[in-house]
Every structure is written in C-alpha cells, then in structure tokens.
Structure 1
Amino acid sequence: MFEAECQYLNGTERVRYVERHIHNREQYEHFDSDVGLYVADTALGEFQAQYYNSQPDVLEDERASVDTFCRHNYRVFTPFVTERK
C-alpha cells in the first residue's frame, strides 16, 4: 500500500510531504521531504530505501512533490484541513 500526506504549517510557507509504503499493515519505508531521502523502518525496507536513494531522478521527483503535489493542491485541501468543526 502507498500513502501520501501533505502537512501544512502556516499556510504554504512551511509544507512537509510524507510518503509511506506499507505491507501487511506495517510501514516498511517512508520518504520525508524534510529529510530528502527514503528511510527504512524495517529490515524489509532497507533494500527498497537503498534502491530508491540510489536513483537521482526518483529523489528529485519526490523532493519536488512539495511544490507539484502539496502546494499545487493547497486550495483543494484547505476546506478539509482548516474548516473542520
């Protein structure tokens, strides 16, 4: 399973993109835009994290997701993020 999440702090000034990879309800690796690399959470994720981190084009695309995915969709997500009661 794959899950992507945008965390907005102070509007679009401070945005964090987190991508999680899950197998059998266990997160085995994740990408955090603050770190800028894939990080292994279990032994299963070590090989995958090393593989993704060795590909500059994959890392460049993930790092750009802060702008291309999160900031681009901020106005779509805003009512759900800020206007909940």
Structure 2
Amino acid sequence: LCAALTGVFQEMKMAECHFINGTEKVRLVERYIYNRQQYVMFDSDVGHYVGFTPFGEKQARHWNSSPARLKYMRAAVDTLCRYNYEVFRPFTVERR
C-alpha cells in the first residue's frame, strides 16, 4: 500500500443526555465525528440535524428529508434519556 493509504481513520457516534432538574427538561445531543472533526449533529432542542462540513450538510439534508427518522430521533428523548434516567442518576446526580 502507498503511504497515503496507511493512515488510521476513526468514525464515532456519540449520544449525550442532558438532564435539567431531574427529568423536567431533558435534551438529547447526538454527534457524528470523523477523524476528530464533528461533521453533523442532532440536537433535540433544535429538532433536526445540523451539518458542520460540506459532507455533514449533505448528510443533514438527507436525514432531515426523512420524517420517520426525525420522528424517531425526537422520540428518543423519552425512549433513551428519560427511560434510562434511573440508570444514569447514581452517576450524575448522587455523586459526592
């Protein structure tokens, strides 16, 4: 292989649940990262995907054009974050 093709590439997806005042206000942020650069993100407060690079903008347009995908992501605040609050609570709220 040539030297240009021997690099290490990393793609990562990270989901974060932010709890404010227990489960009264919950925010889900899902980030897509390639080689340490975030290229697209879903924020439940915004309600749709936002692209940060040319490729990310293309992905965001594609994913935002799917009502089923947006509905799923908006519901994930309840099905992922609120549902698992009791699991997260000992690590986030009850820390001393």
The bucket for the TM-score relative to the shorter chain is: over 0.9
Aligned to 1:63: 74
- TM-score, normalised by the number of residues in structure 1: 0.97
Aligned to 1:7: 18
- TM-score, normalised by the number of residues in structure 2: 0.86
Task: Please state how far the C-alpha of 1:84 moved relative to its aligned partner.
Answer: 2.2
How many residue pairs are counted as aligned between the two chains?
A: 85
What is the CA RMSD across the aligned residues, in angstroms? Answer: 0.7
Aligned to 1:30: 41
Structure 1 unmatched ranges of 5 or more:
none
Task: Please state how far the C-alpha of 1:70 moved relative to its aligned partner.
Answer: 0.3
1:28 is paired with a residue whose SS is strand
Q: 1:5 & 1:69 partners in 2: Cα distance?
A: 10
Q: 1:43 & 1:13 partners in 2: Cα distance?
A: 36
2:26 is paired with a residue whose SS is strand
* Identity between Structure 1 and Structure 2 (%): 59
Of 35-44 and 10-19, deviating more is 35-44
Matched, 1:39 2:50: yes
**One-letter code aligned to 1:65:** A
Give the ranges of 4+ consecutive aligned residues of structure 1 lying more than 6 Å apart after TM superposition.
none
